[in-house]
Structure 1
Amino acid sequence: MLAHGFGCDQNMWRLVVPMLAEKFRLVLFDYVGSGRSDLSAWSEQRYSTLDGYALDVVEVCEELDLREVIFVGHSVSAVVGVLAAAQAPRRISQLVMVAPSPRYIDEDGYRGGFSADDIGELLESLESNYLGWSAAMGPVIMGNDDRPELGEELAASFCATDPDMARVFARTTFLSDSRNDLKSVAVPTLVLECRQDVIAPREVGAYVHAAIAGSRLVTLDATGHCPQLSAPQATAEAIIEFIELAR
């Protein structure tokens, strides 16, 4: 099961899908409020916490009667997968966390990559001018200046999201603190990080790896926060190797 991050949809996985589909049955979906989901099902109350997104995952698993799911979550969805595995332990058997971050705000003894003021300014900018924020931040988050088309694609994905729903998802994402939830993970877990990522620096990958007993940490030779687009072959190969080793 491939789960997208904030401001995105399942199309973000399209470059790794052909490689993964050669070996596995794939399930892709859009969270409610994203992509081609049923926007009428969106509720600000439900999606003001990451548990609401985890419930989306559990409901998809139940509807399709999925078991032994290998959950591949990008960015905030990596943590959503942790929560979903706790909610439905008989459904999810492995986790792949792509560029995860359990907390974005720095704290004494913890580096998330942003100060509280940074996040406050980010959210204020997003809420006051979402389209402008999307155009400016897409290339920054993508982090591949030599391939501007990737940043433009991410910006377009942000722009396609309803601004009111994106505002709620952004607050839910950037103000979350799921560090304690990592300790509950009891399934084989792969932590995939990029060697340079403005959203999830390598200190975060090291923290997640240390917090999840028995997890495996792989640093991709990639930059930016979306290796499934910037380095799809390396991303797919790391996922396949992990799954095969865990069998």
Structure 2
Amino acid sequence: MDIVSRNNITVAGPEDAPVLLLAHGFGCDQNMWRLVAPALAENFRVVQFDYVGSGRSDLTAWSETRYGALDGYAQDVVEICEALDLREVRFVGHSVSAMVGVLAAAAAPDRITSLIMIGPSPCYVDSPGYRGGFSAEDIDELLESLESNYLGWSAAMAPVIMGNPERPELGEELTNSFCATDPAIARVFARTTFLTDSRDDLKKVNVPTLVLECTQDVIAPREVGAYVHSVIPGSRLVTLDATGHCPQLSAPEATVAAIADFVGTQQ
């Protein structure tokens, strides 16, 4: 299979520059990076893609068996690295992709050498001694609403996830992205996202890691960022002067600066 067309891979930036592999989150595609990718491509080799089932990927390659677990998405990442023969990759994962990056780095340690996590959450459900931001009942209701009326759920939830109510165009952009996703695929990806507990996987990370959080984020509250930082030895935690779950759209300059600074310290 042609991985480049399957995952709608695009590449920009100097050929001999450090490689950044940008991975989008649930309900999104590589267009979510549109405000940061050009700036990053001035100094880095920027590789973008759509997970199978998202954006302009080859939807015929999607199967619930493979993509009913995060390992299927991690397999996409590894196959992309192999297809392009990428080395010393700095994996930039937004939201659930932060945990996909953890799995991909473990599967391909010879290719992925550092992780940049934007709004990561290894587990969305609260438990004794851990705050994920949602009760089990909250998640059940969220998934039930999504499965019964995906377009209505998207219109209601996207602005909440995006935050920044004074900039409604951002929420509208995320709503449109959600609505462009096949509802059947979105249901599977949502369950994979919100019901997976990656805390044990997180404990195995042994590469340089940057954790980027926002001052207010309903999906990944700051307690989660603190937890991720505490579990990964030597990780760096940076709190962006931004709100919402998508700082690459709401605060692109700060996001670019944090990524560039971190990569600079790894060279």
Question: TM class, shorter-chain normalised?
Answer: over 0.9
**How far 1:186 sits from its partner (Å)?**
1.0
Displaced runs of 4+ in structure 1, greater than 6 A?
A: none
1:223 aligns with 2:243: yes
Per the alignment, residue 246 of structure 1 pairs with: 266
For residues 203-214 of structure 1, the aligned pairs below 5 Å read 203-214=223-234
Deviations 1:68-91 (A, max 9, x none): 000000000000000000011001
Per the alignment, residue 218 of structure 2 pairs with: 198
**How far 1:5 sits from its partner (Å)?**
0.0
CA distance in 1, matches of 2:86, 2:53: 23
CA distance in 2, matches of 1:132, 1:183: 37
CA distance in 2, matches of 1:25, 1:77: 19
Residue type of the partner of 1:32? V
* SS of 1:100 mapped into structure 2: coil
**How far 1:110 sits from its partner (Å)?**
0.2
Match for 1:42 among 55, 58, 62?
A: 62
Deviations 1:30-56 (A, max 9, x none): 000000000000010111110000000
CA distance in 2, matches of 1:128, 1:13: 30
Residue type of the partner of 2:173? E
Deviations 1:173-223 (A, max 9, x none): 000000011111111100000000000000000000001000000000100
* SS of 1:26 mapped into structure 2: strand
Per the alignment, residue 154 of structure 1 pairs with: 174
CA distance in 2, matches of 1:187, 1:244: 15
**How far 1:246 sits from its partner (Å)?**
1.7
Per the alignment, residue 252 of structure 2 pairs with: 232
CA distance in 1, matches of 2:128, 2:89: 36
CA distance in 2, matches of 1:32, 1:217: 30
CA distance in 2, matches of 1:112, 1:45: 27
CA distance in 1, matches of 2:215, 2:135: 21
Residue type of the partner of 1:38? D
**How far 1:133 sits from its partner (Å)?**
0.3
- Which segments of 5 or more consecutive residues in structure 2 lack a partner in the other structure? 1-20
Per the alignment, residue 178 of structure 1 pairs with: 198
1:131 aligns with 2:165: no
**How far 1:245 sits from its partner (Å)?**
1.2
* SS of 2:91 mapped into structure 1: strand
Residue type of the partner of 1:190? L
Residue type of the partner of 1:234? A
- Which segments of 5 or more consecutive residues in structure 1 lack a partner in the other structure? none
**How far 1:235 sits from its partner (Å)?**
0.3
CA distance in 1, matches of 2:175, 2:113: 33
TM-score by length of 1: 1.00
CA distance in 1, matches of 2:32, 2:161: 14
TM-score by length of 2: 0.92
Identical aligned pairs, as a percentage? 79
CA-based RMSD of the aligned residues comes to 0.4
**How far 1:18 sits from its partner (Å)?**
1.4
Q: How many residues align?
A: 247
